[in-house]
Structure 1
Amino acid sequence: HLLDTSSCGPQGDVLLFLTGQQEVDTAVSLLTDRALAERPRRRLLALPLYGSLSHAAQMRAFAPPPPGARKVIVATSIAETSVTIDGVVFVVDCGWTKQRQQNPSTLHEALVVVPESRANARQRAGRAGRGTHTHTAHPRAP
């Protein structure tokens, strides 16, 4: 179980990719509530990572977790490129992404959720810290 912080499973942090800020905030809230309900058995630190967060809030995702805790970074596609997060050994990818598309009848652009490409899936899987064996989960095949 990825959220298990006991010594019986692989150690390391989790990077979870979701489609948008609202989904990220909801997941962080749910994970935090679950960790509080199961304390002291489980020490879990859920942190958001998306573009409109303050710089300080974004940097918390890169800091090491407290001893004995597992960090779960819940991110949008901001963490897909040019970011490596040391300590991450599990990457969980929802398999979807938001993309701007134009409605041909109204000519207005909107963000729509679409299946991610295989290239994006590979890019996301590579976001774990270098030199670590990464376990990747894709609930839906792109």
Structure 2
Amino acid sequence: MMRALMHTLCWFGLAAAVGLAPAAARARAQAPCLASGDVISGKVAPVTASHPNGSTFTAYILTLSPPRCVTTADQRIEAAARLQLGGNAGQQATLRRRADAVVRVRIRDPFTPETAWHIGDVIVVDYDIVN
């Protein structure tokens, strides 16, 4: 069984190297990176997390499936799957009402996590909900 697994893994590596990778993988690799101003869609859900100070908090996470490349002001995240949406009280209330639904948002100025309050792969606090 181990030999068959190794053969399969080697074949996939060879297939990817010569351009025979599955279509979804090629499409993901060719899709342009998300950047400030882009509209994206994904399922938004509340996620409860623990801060190192012992408190708990709820963050709203927009899940991208499949993960996408995201360009921030100073770097490129190759496979972001979880965008943490911050924002003002009104936006947070809208996200609470839309929990577990697919939403479309126009993102501005995405950035990488900087503090223990940031649990997403990418953080977005400046955005508009467009649906």
Query: What's the TM-score, normalizing by structure 1?
Result: 0.21
Q: Which structure is richer in relative contact order (CA contacts within 8 A, separation 6 or more)?
A: 1
> Larger radius of gyration, structure 1 or 2?
2
1 or 2, which has the higher strand percentage?
A: 2
Query: What's the TM-score, normalizing by structure 2?
Result: 0.22
